[in-house]
Structure 1
Amino acid sequence: MGIDVQFRPMTIHDIDEVVQVEQASFTAPWTRESFYNELMYNRYAKYIVMVHRGRIIGYAGMWLVIDEAHVTNVAVLPQFRGQKLGEALMRRLMETAKQHGAATMTLEVRVSNHVAQSLYRKLGFRNGGIRKRYYPDNFEDALVMWVKLT
């Protein structure tokens, strides 16, 4: 990782910047309201932001239920990709999950997103199955992946 970044919990004051990262990253982005509801009303949700020079350049989120963490979102602004920042973000999210008692972590990733799948495999994730027609924008299948955190 070549640039200096800091991690901290996401707050409602971060939502506008996070939505910009979301919109730059996904074809079916979450809305401002979705993030607001996650932060304000979902007691299982934990989100972190990655900050560079005072600007949010990435974020990640998960739901923590009993001893399992389920990744909801991971995104880095396109101009900051290819610098191992996604890996740093995922490692921080995995560590946060462990600190909250999670023994396993799961996620879904588009079957066509080989870059993300490669990162997840590097972090120890394994294939768990396929969710058919999972993504609403084009009905692409999702690959379910999981990893033991303990």
Structure 2
Amino acid sequence: MLIRQMVWPDIDTVVALEHKLFSTPWEKDAFEYELGKNVFSSILVLEEDGEILGYIGMWLLGDQTQITTLGVKKEYQRNGYAKMLMDKCVEVTKHLGYRNINLEVRISNQKAINLYKKYGFKIVTIRKNYYQDNHEDAYLMIKKMEV
């Protein structure tokens, strides 16, 4: 099992996975922007034997990490892969000395909410009509880092 930086040849695989997992997936041009132009962006992929099983997108913003996307192939979910990616995110955040990690999550996505709560994330507010596809609200969740 390897967690590494996403590279250009990974884009099509990650976009295909994103489209299988989410009702409002990131498009290819969004991943291209994150990889090529967004200096705050870091996308990590988790792979085994050359197969990408999951990924996590982060914005490293100088004092905080924002998780932008997190996905694991459906057939590999519930095997601890999201946990491995979250562990890496926490490790990166600690290494940079940032004070917190934040993210938005659909209020209906109980599986993800439960994962984030295990990591010490707390719901701090609701973002009304956050998702474009169905105007579902999102929770803003924040994990304060120990300094």
TM-score norm. by structure 2 comes to: 0.96
The DSSP-based 3-state class of the residue aligned with 1:43 is: coil
Q: Is the 8 A contact 1:48 1:93 kept in 2?
A: no
Instruction: Indicate whether 1:42 and 2:38 are aligned.
Output: yes
| Alignment-derived partner of residue 91 in structure 1 | 87
The aligned runs of 1:66-85 (5 Å cut-off) are: 66-85=62-81
Matched, 1:59 2:55: yes
Q: AA paired with 1:65?
A: L
In 1, Cα distance between equivalents of 2:32 and 2:83 = 25
Q: Distance in 1 between matches of 2:81 and 2:101?
A: 19
Which residue of structure 2 lines up, in the alignment, with residue 109 of structure 1?
105
Tell me which of 8, 13, 16 is aligned to 2:4.
8
Aligned residue number for residue 149 of structure 1: 145
Is there any run of 5+ residues in structure 2 with no aligned partner, and where? none
The whole-number CA distance in structure 1 between the counterparts of 2:78 and 2:37 is 34
Q: Matches of 1:101 and 1:9 in 2, distance apart? A: 20
Give percent identity, aligned residues only: 38
Q: Structure 1: 5+ residue runs without aligned partners?
A: none
| Distance in 1, Cα, partners of 2:25 & 2:84 | 22
Of 15, 20, 25, 1:19 maps to: 15
| CA distance, structure 2, for counterparts of residue 89 and residue 62 of structure 1 | 11
1:149, CA displacement in angstroms?
Answer: 2.2
How far apart, in 2, do the equivalents of 1:94 and 1:19 lie?
24
Encode CA deviations 1:36-80: one digit per residue, 9 max, x unaligned.
001110001111000022111100011111211111000001010
Structure 1 contact 61–93 (Cα < 8 Å) conserved:
no
Deviations 1:81-134 (A, max 9, x none): 011111111111121122233220000000000000000000111111000000
- Aligned-CA RMSD value: 0.9
| In structure 2, distance between residues paired with 1:93 and 1:130 | 23
The number of equivalent residue pairs is 146
CA–CA distance in structure 2, aligned partners of residues 16 and 98 of structure 1: 31
Aligned residue in 2 for 1:119: 115
* Residue of structure 2 in register with 1:132 after alignment: 128
Name the residue aligned to 1:30: 26
